[in-house]
Amino acid sequence: MCYLIKGLDRTRFRNFMKVLVFDDAKMRERDFSAVASRLERTLTSTTYLRKLASSKVNWLQTDPQEVAVQILDFLKSL
């Protein structure tokens, strides 16, 4: 998602999330705030970040923490 953020159509993304996440009774998240909160718990987990940093392949060639910040900032802006 990180490399797609700059060119993402925000309206289409909001509609996509509404249909596939927010309107799905099986999903817990009902808004972008809830999605950002859940992702923040994962993306800021020291265990998760340590595993990302130790990965042999960094196909984004970017610091994992910077990627996490970009994704969270994007979701919080919606």
Residue 13 has pLDDT above 80, yes or no: yes
Cα–Cα dist 19/73, whole Å: 22
Task: Judge whether 69 lies within some domain.
Answer: yes
Is 1 among the domain residues?
no
Tell me the one-letter amino acid at 59.
Answer: W
Number of domains in the chain: 1
Q: What is the pLDDT of residue 7?
A: 86
- The residue segments making up the domain with residue 22 are 9-77
Residue 45: count other Cβ atoms within 10 Å of its Cβ. Answer: 13
Query: In terms of pTM, does the model score above 0.85?
Result: no
Residue 3 lies in a domain: no
